[in-house]
Every structure is written in C-alpha cells, then in structure tokens.
Amino acid sequence: MEWCTYNRYVKTARKLKGMKHTIFLAKHSQSDEVLGMVEVGMTVRPPNGIVVPTMGVLCVDPDFQRCGIGTLLVHETEHLVQNVWNLTTSVTTTSIHVEIETDNPNSLAFFKSRGYAIEEDDENNVNVLEKGIIVEKKPCWVVTKPIQDISSEV
C-alpha cells in the first residue's frame, strides 16, 4: 500500500472515531490473500438529512467472483446493521442503502437479486475524489432494502 493511501485511511479513521463504520474483508483460507471487501457506515442522505446505514465499496477479486464471496459480505453487512447496530428501533432508519454507479448494471442485478430495489436515480450523486478534491460526479442508482426484510432471511 502506498504511504499516501495509508495516510488517507488513517485520516478517515480518525474522522469516523465514535461513529458506526465497518469494513469487512474476505480472505483466502490458505494464503490469507484478500479476496473481497465491503464497507458500511452511517451517512447523511440529502435532501432531508436523515442518517442511514449505507453500504459503500463492495468488491471481489475477478478470479473469485460468482463464488459467493459478495453474497457473504453483503449478508455480514446486513447482519451487522440488523443485529449489532440494532437500528430497527431507530425512527430515522428503516432501510439499508447502496449507491451503485449507473455504468455498473451487473452490480445492480446483484443487489436486486438480494431483495434491494431502486429508490432513486441521482444523476450527480457519487463523488469521485482525488486528494480530497471532488474531480468528478458520477450518476448512480440508490437501492434500498428495508431492515425488517433482513431479519426474515436469516
């Protein structure tokens, strides 16, 4: 990992101190190689400023896609939100959110097959950052799944 990337992660971790934020890693059982990861945290959704659990980066090594790793990572994330963070009693939180860039239809199909539905199309929702500066805004779909539906799957 590059030093500047490491420093960025450290700064982000310090900003998130005390907030709900988690990264799950899927590792190979023999080599300890990272095969996939997912990030989840509480984010503020415009325009009304509701704080919701939002799944961020979900990625799986291309050589290990379609082996259940992505599904496992999503399941662990949903379990965290439902049972550890215990957000079902929150007045402001009823769903888990995922932002998917519109140039990634495979990701949309993946989440739809797991019970997520498109809540909105947002043409300028995803910010692409470089050295902390927004260099591009990408269109995305916002898909959601009610937290109550998560508990019925387990």
For residues 39 and 24, what is the distance between their CA atoms, to the nearest angstrom? 6
Q: Which residues of 143-152 are buried (b: 16+ CB within 10 A; e: fewer)?
A: bbbebeebee
- CATH class belonging to 4-146: alpha beta
For residues 116 and 3, what is the distance between their CA atoms, to the nearest angstrom? 37
pLDDT tens digits along 47-75: 677 778 888 888 899 999 999 999 999 99
Amino acid at 147: I
Using a pLDDT cut of 90, give the percent of the chain over it. Answer: 19
What pLDDT band is residue 84 in, cutting at 50, 70 and 90?
confident
Strand bridging mode 95-101 / 50-60: parallel
pLDDT tens digits along 88-129: 555 456 788 898 888 889 999 999 999 999 987 655 565 555
pLDDT recorded at residue 140: 80
For residues 82 and 146, what is the distance between their CA atoms, to the nearest angstrom? 10
Highest mean pLDDT among 2-11, 25-34, 41-50, 134-143: 25-34
